[in-house]
Structure 1
Amino acid sequence: MAEVENGKDLISVLWSGADILRSKMDANEYKNYLLGIVFYKYLSDSFLIKVYDLICDARPQTLKEALDAYVEELKGEDAEELKKEMQDQYHYVIEPELTYTYFADAARNNSFNREQLQKAFNNIEQSDQIFADLFADIDLYSNRLGTGDQKQSDTVASLIKEIDKADLLNSDAEILGNAYEFLIGQFASETGKKAGEFYTPQAVSKILTKIAIAGQEDKTGLSVYDPCMGSGSLLLNAKKYSSAPGYIKYYGQEMNTSTYNLARMNMFLHGVDPNNQHLNNGDTLDGDWPTDEETDFNMVLMNPPYSANWSATAGFLQDERFSDYGVLAPKSKADYAFLLHGLYHLKSNGTMAIVLPHGVLFRGAAEGKIREKLLRSGNIYAVIGLPANLFYNTSIPTCIIVLKKHRDGRDVLFIDASKKFNKGKKQNEMTDEHINAVIDLYSQRKTVEKEAYLASFEDIEKNDFNLNIPRYVDNFEKEEEVDLSALLSDMKKTDDELEQVQGEFVSLLKELTSTDETTMSLLNDLIEKMGV
Structure 2
Amino acid sequence: MIINLKVHQECNTTLGTLFYRFISENFAIYIEADDDSIHYAELPDNIITPDIKDDAIKTKGYFIYPSQLFANVAARANSNESLNTDLADIFAAIENSASGYPSERDIKGLFADFDTTSNRLGNTVKDKNTRLAAVLKGVAGLYFGDAHSGDFESNHIDLFGDAYEFLISNYAANAGKSGGEFFTPQHVSKLIAQLAMHKQTRVNKIYDPACGSGSLLLQAKKHFDAHIIEDGFYGQELNHTTYNLARMNMFLHNINYDKFNIQLGDTLIAPHFDSDKPFDAIVSNPPYSVKWIGSDDPTLINDDRFAPAGVLAPKSKADFAFVLHALSYLSSRGRAAIVCFPGIFYRGGAEQKIRQYLVDNNFVETVISLAPNLFYGTTIAVTILVLSKHKTDTTTQFIDASGLFKKETNNNLLLDTHIDEIMAVFDSKANVEHFARSVPFEQVAANDYNLSVSSYVEARDTREVVDIAELNSDLKTTVARIDQLRKEIDAIVAEIEA
> Does the TM-score normalized on the shorter chain lie above 0.5?
yes
Is residue 45 of structure 1 aligned with residue 44 of structure 2? no
CA separation of 1:38 and 1:112: change in aligned 2, threshold 3 A: farther
Distance 2:265 2:172 in 1: 22
Match of 2:5 in 1: none
CA separation of 1:39 and 1:188: change in aligned 2, threshold 3 A: farther
Distance 1:470 1:57 in 2: 70
Match of 1:273 in 2: 256
Is residue 159 of structure 1 aligned with residue 129 of structure 2? no
Q: CA deviation at 1:498?
A: 6.9
State the AA in 1 paired with 2:140. D
CA separation of 1:237 and 1:481: change in aligned 2, threshold 3 A: closer
The 8 Å contact of residues 229 and 252 in structure 1, kept in 2 or not, is answered as: yes
CA separation of 1:159 and 1:311: change in aligned 2, threshold 3 A: same
The structure 2 residue matched to 1:377, chosen from 361, 364, 377, is: 361
The structure 2 residue matched to 1:100, chosen from 52, 70, 91, is: 70
Is residue 262 of structure 1 aligned with residue 241 of structure 2? no
Q: List alignment gaps of at least 5 residues for structure 2.
A: 1-15, 99-103
State the AA in 1 paired with 2:89. K
Match of 1:84 in 2: 54
Is residue 183 of structure 1 aligned with residue 167 of structure 2? yes
Match of 1:240 in 2: 222
The 8 Å contact of residues 356 and 398 in structure 1, kept in 2 or not, is answered as: yes
The structure 1 residue matched to 2:206, chosen from 221, 224, 245, is: 224
Distance 2:266 2:259 in 1: 22
The 8 Å contact of residues 378 and 408 in structure 1, kept in 2 or not, is answered as: no
Is residue 388 of structure 1 aligned with residue 372 of structure 2? yes
Is residue 124 of structure 1 aligned with residue 101 of structure 2? no
Distance 2:71 2:24 in 1: 8
CA separation of 1:415 and 1:47: change in aligned 2, threshold 3 A: closer
The 8 Å contact of residues 253 and 284 in structure 1, kept in 2 or not, is answered as: yes
Per-residue Cα deviation, 1:49-73 (whole angstroms, up to 9, x for no partner): x33x224389869xxx5422x22xx
2:130 counterpart SS class = helix
1:39 counterpart SS class = coil
Question: So what's the TM-score if we normalise by structure 1?
Answer: 0.81
The structure 2 residue matched to 1:306, chosen from 263, 288, 297, is: 288
Is residue 449 of structure 1 aligned with residue 433 of structure 2? yes
Per-residue Cα deviation, 1:20-65 (whole angstroms, up to 9, x for no partner): xxxxxxxxxxxxxxxxx983432222377x33x224389869xxx5
Q: CA deviation at 1:478?
A: 7.2
CA separation of 1:58 and 1:496: change in aligned 2, threshold 3 A: farther
Q: CA deviation at 1:330?
A: 0.4
CA separation of 1:243 and 1:114: change in aligned 2, threshold 3 A: closer
Q: List alignment gaps of at least 5 residues for structure 1.
A: 1-36, 511-523
Q: CA deviation at 1:247?
A: 4.7
The 8 Å contact of residues 224 and 299 in structure 1, kept in 2 or not, is answered as: yes
Distance 1:212 1:461 in 2: 25
The two structures, once aligned, show a CA RMSD in angstroms of: 3.0
CA separation of 1:38 and 1:55: change in aligned 2, threshold 3 A: closer
Q: CA deviation at 1:429?
A: 1.6
Per-residue Cα deviation, 1:124-179 (whole angstroms, up to 9, x for no partner): 11122121100101112211111132322222222222222223334446333223
Is residue 291 of structure 1 aligned with residue 274 of structure 2? yes
1:102 counterpart SS class = helix
Per-residue Cα deviation, 1:92-131 (whole angstroms, up to 9, x for no partner): 2223332222221222335442111110000111122121
Distance 1:253 1:57 in 2: 47
The 8 Å contact of residues 358 and 398 in structure 1, kept in 2 or not, is answered as: yes
- Pick the structure with more helix per residue: 1
Match of 1:18 in 2: none
Is residue 143 of structure 1 aligned with residue 127 of structure 2? no
Match of 1:19 in 2: none
Moved more, 390-399 or 301-310: 390-399
Distance 1:328 1:459 in 2: 25
State the AA in 1 paired with 2:20. K
Match of 2:12 in 1: none
Match of 1:67 in 2: 41
Match of 1:318 in 2: 302
CA separation of 1:246 and 1:101: change in aligned 2, threshold 3 A: farther
CA separation of 1:230 and 1:290: change in aligned 2, threshold 3 A: same
Q: CA deviation at 1:359?
A: 1.0
Match of 2:331 in 1: 347
CA separation of 1:307 and 1:47: change in aligned 2, threshold 3 A: closer
Q: CA deviation at 1:316?
A: 0.3
Distance 1:142 1:75 in 2: 32
Structure 1 or 2, whichever has the larger Rg, is 1
State the AA in 1 paired with 2:439. A
Q: CA deviation at 1:202?
A: 1.8
Match of 2:10 in 1: none
State the AA in 2 paired with 1:487. L
Distance 2:225 2:363 in 1: 27
State the AA in 2 paired with 1:284. T
Match of 2:33 in 1: 56
Identity of aligned residues (%): 36
Is residue 419 of structure 1 aligned with residue 403 of structure 2? yes
State the AA in 2 paired with 1:489. S
